Structure 1
Amino acid sequence: MAQLTDDCFAFGGPLLSVDEAAALVAERLPVLAGIETVPLTEADGRIAAGDVVTGLDLPLFDNSAVDGYAVRFSDLTAGPETLLPVRGRLPAGAAPGCDALSGSAMRIFTGAPMPPGADTVFMQEDVRREGDAVALPAGLKAGANRRLAGEDVARGSLVIPAGRRLTPPDLALAAATGHAALAVRRRLRVAVFSTGDELAEPGAALRPGAIHDSNRVLLVALLRRLGAAVTDLGILRDDPALLPGLLRAAADGHDLILTSGGVSTGEEDHVKAAVEAVGRLVFWRLAIKPGRPVAMGLIGDTAFVGLPGNPVAVYVTLLVVVRPLLARLGGARLDAPPSEPARAAFRYRKKAGRREYVRVSLRRGADGVVEAVKFPRDGAGVLSSLTGSDGLAELPEAVTGVEEGDRVEVFRHPLLW
């Protein structure tokens, strides 16, 4: 397995754009996840470790797309219908035989191989049976209702590219082309904890000044949706004497340590010093809102990312910053995120040079155009702005404001792009 080196995170510079950060991750970090082979029933959501090429045609042979009667098109007459004797019956799974079909029709069922010489199938509801013969109406085109060998996937075709996150249709295609198992990347092992003396476990009784820890719940759920194997390490207290040892212990057996809170420059933000005591830390002062204080570093061979403490900032930075990192370390292909255009039904001002994500709900205007309505409160700690909105409107660095009627691009929740 590849290892991280001391200069992997030597990005430099006082402030990075989101795109610069993603490019540096792609350029400088190795793929850490090893390879294992799993049965198709366990491969959903995993990352394909290599290209999957089919050695079979799909379909394997010419076959009927319907229940009906197979004929040779050249046997049809020019009149309003053709009467042909019926010779045999061919269900799915039966061998087609060796004799070429000529001057007759064969009863055939969906999926059955086409008899030799046959090239067209009449649907059973379109014909009239007369004893041992069948009356076939005029007007059907040559080759109708016949599926050709390889028309779905031809032998030698790429059916699954390396780095693809496997979906149920991918697994069905792999099965249809003869694969019982696939080589996939091992799940990334991610250790997650929150920091802060003010935090209590969800459901616990709260002492004065304490709050329930929601960030860790959010992170664990999102990481599992992204395919990671997560270890929940709970809440770490703001103790500068204990944090370095706890971080060093978390690095053992994990590919990534992910924390929330404690990475800013306040007197009670001790994570920065703790990481520097046992590893190396470089701040990503990202040009992003919400979520500028994001830290990245290295503890031994384990990557470290410290996210902000506010939950909306955690949500945005995990999906915009950490997701590309996970893709790189895990050998996954990172596709451009899908978005949809909407007409802004709000006004907004922002700084040039910073990418911002505005929480919006979508509605259809009186003229039928989809509109984006801004959530009424902006705070990075307003969790209800995530549950009460449909997605995030992305405002690029060059944009300095939005007027009503402007076009914006919206990424719907959950943003597992």
Structure 2
Amino acid sequence: MADGCGCDQHAQKYLTVPEALARGLAIADPVTETETLPLIDAIGRVLAEDCISKVDMPAFDNSAMDGYAIRTADMSDGPIFNLPVAGRIAAGDTGAHSAPAGAALRIFTGAPVPADFDAVLMQEDCETTADGIRFTRRPKPGQHIRRMGEDLKAGAPILRQGCEITAREAAALASTGFCEVTVFRKLKITLFSTGNELRQPGEPLGPGQIYNSNRYMLRALLTKPWIDLTDKGQVEDDPERLEKALRQACDNADLIVTTGGVSVGDEDHMPRLFAAIGGKTDVMKVAMKPGKPIMFGRRGRALYIGLPGNPVSAYVTWQIIGSQMMARRAGLRHMPPTPEQAVLAEPLQRQAGRQEYRPVTIDGTTPDGTLQLRLMAASYSGRVATLAQADGLAVIPAETKGLPKGYRLPFLRF
């Protein structure tokens, strides 16, 4: 019998990772509210509109080198060329510049190239004389000149909606004249951990107690310029307190992230409590290792992701599924992780059935330059130190059992 959560958590079949991710992305509809900010304040935010260049890039023909502007048509047949230098142009000069026929102009990188000059000679390719310059290699027309609009024409697209404004995007926007941009509002996220056994670093540990590493791990993962994070810390395994915390979070946040309490034990309250406050659960079981107990669903506009309590499981499920749901909810274009190809440095024996994300270290390369991966401990879901020591995750297909040394498989680098 279903428990009101929108799925029967006991009868629901295990979903593959692609199936679970597809369901998660389908319910993670992006926020629509926007705000317009000065470009300097929009760095790190999510762009809410396509941006079109306001100017040609470059805005004028300019020199790509320090050297000498010349007219190739004025040159003799060589093999040695001597030209007088009739003037000087620096970057930022705005006056008109001219020179008599057969004369060069000293020019610096970024300086405007006069319309009747068609090449720039690098200063390294010539020697100065008492009368001007001497060189032996005839420049070609257009050499070392950056033509107006060759990078970007006015009216051409620069950036698409849904990109994060990092260093490259900020530079592109500034160089094309954007003083302000429209971005999606910050994504409101509420985070809390469940479990009576949890203590904060610095507190004494009693019997059966552990430090709450998940809180700090997720704080690091959720500290972004486009996130407005509310960290509720730890909520005790008391159904009344958990339900109150979950209800308040759903009322105020776009996304709620919790750790622990999402399996089927007597103290795993979150699936039942989410249903009790009107939540609809879309996923409860995923055929992945680690991270089989992960749940996510919706209550009104709020998206809920319940991660496992074991820290490695929480990290892996967040990176593989949760982070992509969050990014879509924030308005970011979907950019799935791109794995590298690597080979096993040693054979592997495992039980088939779930797609596995095994922490690995890089152990050199093969003669053709392919990364070799050395597997870390087979039992690792609770070993948080393993994450800090690993270089990434090897993706082991669900159907595989024994894998030989040299087997090629995807690798997700940290």
Q: TM-score, normalised by structure 2?
A: 0.91
SS in 1 for 2:120: strand
For residues 12-161 of structure 1, the aligned pairs below 5 Å read: 14-32=13-31, 34-95=33-94, 97=96, 102-161=101-160
| Per-residue deviation, 1:8 | 10
SS in 2 for 1:150: coil
Q: Output the CA distance in 2 between the equivalents of 1:192 and 1:305.
A: 10
Q: Output the CA distance in 1 between the equivalents of 2:80 and 2:370.
A: 52
* Letter paired with 2:326: L
Q: Output the CA distance in 2 between the equivalents of 1:321 and 1:296.
A: 10
Cα pair 1:244 1:274 within 8 Å, conserved = yes
Question: Residues 36 and 374 of structure 1: is their aligned pair in 2 closer, same or farther, counting only changes over 3 Å?
Answer: same
Report what 1:371 is aligned to.
372
User: 1:290-322 deviations in whole A, cap 9, x for unaligned?
Assistant: 001111123343111111110000000111111
For residues 253-268 of structure 1, the aligned pairs below 5 Å read: 253-268=252-267
Report what 2:250 is aligned to.
251
Report what 2:341 is aligned to.
341
| Per-residue deviation, 1:231 | 0.9
Report what 2:386 is aligned to.
385
Report what 1:3 is aligned to.
none
Report what 1:410 is aligned to.
411
| Per-residue deviation, 1:110 | 1.1
Q: Output the CA distance in 2 between the equivalents of 1:201 and 1:349.
A: 37
Report what 1:396 is aligned to.
397
Question: Residues 152 and 366 of structure 1: is their aligned pair in 2 closer, same or farther, counting only changes over 3 Å?
Answer: closer
| Per-residue deviation, 1:398 | 4.2
* Letter paired with 2:408: R
Report what 2:315 is aligned to.
315
Question: Residues 383 and 281 of structure 1: is their aligned pair in 2 closer, same or farther, counting only changes over 3 Å?
Answer: same
Question: What percentage of residue pairs aligned between the two structures are identical?
Answer: 38
Report what 1:200 is aligned to.
199
| Per-residue deviation, 1:217 | 1.0
SS in 2 for 1:242: helix
SS in 1 for 2:56: coil
Question: Residues 247 and 59 of structure 1: is their aligned pair in 2 closer, same or farther, counting only changes over 3 Å?
Answer: same
> Which region of structure 1 is more displaced relative to structure 2, 156-165 or 187-196?
156-165
Cα pair 2:5 2:280 within 8 Å, conserved = no
Question: Residues 68 and 9 of structure 1: is their aligned pair in 2 closer, same or farther, counting only changes over 3 Å?
Answer: farther
Q: Output the CA distance in 2 between the equivalents of 1:101 and 1:36.
A: 55
Q: Output the CA distance in 2 between the equivalents of 1:233 and 1:332.
A: 25
Q: Output the CA distance in 2 between the equivalents of 1:7 and 1:107.
A: 76
SS in 1 for 2:40: helix
SS in 1 for 2:252: coil
> Which region of structure 1 is more displaced relative to structure 2, 310-319 or 392-401?
392-401
SS in 2 for 1:241: helix
Question: Residues 346 and 128 of structure 1: is their aligned pair in 2 closer, same or farther, counting only changes over 3 Å?
Answer: closer
| Per-residue deviation, 1:28 | 4.0
SS in 2 for 1:402: coil
Question: Residues 352 and 96 of structure 1: is their aligned pair in 2 closer, same or farther, counting only changes over 3 Å?
Answer: farther
> Which region of structure 1 is more displaced relative to structure 2, 285-294 or 148-157?
148-157
RMSD of the TM alignment (CA)?
Answer: 2.5
Report what 2:237 is aligned to.
238
Report what 1:188 is aligned to.
187
Residue 212 (str. 1) matches residue 203 (str. 2) = no
| Per-residue deviation, 1:125 | 3.1
| Per-residue deviation, 1:24 | 2.5
Q: Output the CA distance in 2 between the equivalents of 1:321 and 1:226.
A: 21
* Letter paired with 1:389: A
* Letter paired with 1:294: I
Cα pair 1:339 1:409 within 8 Å, conserved = yes
Cα pair 1:343 1:371 within 8 Å, conserved = yes
Q: Output the CA distance in 2 between the equivalents of 1:27 and 1:285.
A: 17
Q: Output the CA distance in 2 between the equivalents of 1:59 and 1:211.
A: 59
Q: Output the CA distance in 1 between the equivalents of 2:285 and 2:331.
A: 26
Question: Residues 209 and 101 of structure 1: is their aligned pair in 2 closer, same or farther, counting only changes over 3 Å?
Answer: farther
Cα pair 1:248 1:299 within 8 Å, conserved = no
Q: Output the CA distance in 2 between the equivalents of 1:132 and 1:285.
A: 83
> Which region of structure 1 is more displaced relative to structure 2, 73-82 or 292-301?
292-301
Cα pair 2:360 2:391 within 8 Å, conserved = yes
Report what 1:274 is aligned to.
273
| Per-residue deviation, 1:397 | 3.4
Cα pair 2:6 2:280 within 8 Å, conserved = no
Q: Output the CA distance in 2 between the equivalents of 1:317 and 1:180.
A: 39
> Which region of structure 1 is more displaced relative to structure 2, 29-38 or 322-331?
29-38
Question: Residues 365 and 249 of structure 1: is their aligned pair in 2 closer, same or farther, counting only changes over 3 Å?
Answer: closer
Cα pair 2:85 2:133 within 8 Å, conserved = yes
Q: Output the CA distance in 2 between the equivalents of 1:154 and 1:10.
A: 57
Cα pair 2:341 2:370 within 8 Å, conserved = no
Q: Output the CA distance in 2 between the equivalents of 1:379 and 1:120.
A: 63
Cα pair 2:360 2:394 within 8 Å, conserved = yes
Q: TM-score, normalised by structure 1?
A: 0.90
| Per-residue deviation, 1:198 | 0.9
SS in 1 for 2:239: coil
User: 1:141-181 deviations in whole A, cap 9, x for unaligned?
Assistant: 22211111122222222221211122201111111111122
SS in 2 for 1:348: coil
User: 1:59-97 deviations in whole A, cap 9, x for unaligned?
Assistant: 111111112211111111111223333222211111252
Q: Output the CA distance in 2 between the equivalents of 1:267 and 1:39.
A: 52
| Per-residue deviation, 1:281 | 3.6
> Which region of structure 1 is more displaced relative to structure 2, 388-397 or 150-159?
150-159
SS in 2 for 1:321: helix
Cα pair 1:96 1:116 within 8 Å, conserved = no
Give structure 1 stretches of 5+ with no counterpart: 1-5
Q: Output the CA distance in 2 between the equivalents of 1:123 and 1:345.
A: 50
Question: Residues 382 and 303 of structure 1: is their aligned pair in 2 closer, same or farther, counting only changes over 3 Å?
Answer: same
SS in 1 for 2:223: helix
| Per-residue deviation, 1:234 | 1.1
Q: Output the CA distance in 2 between the equivalents of 1:327 and 1:40.
A: 21
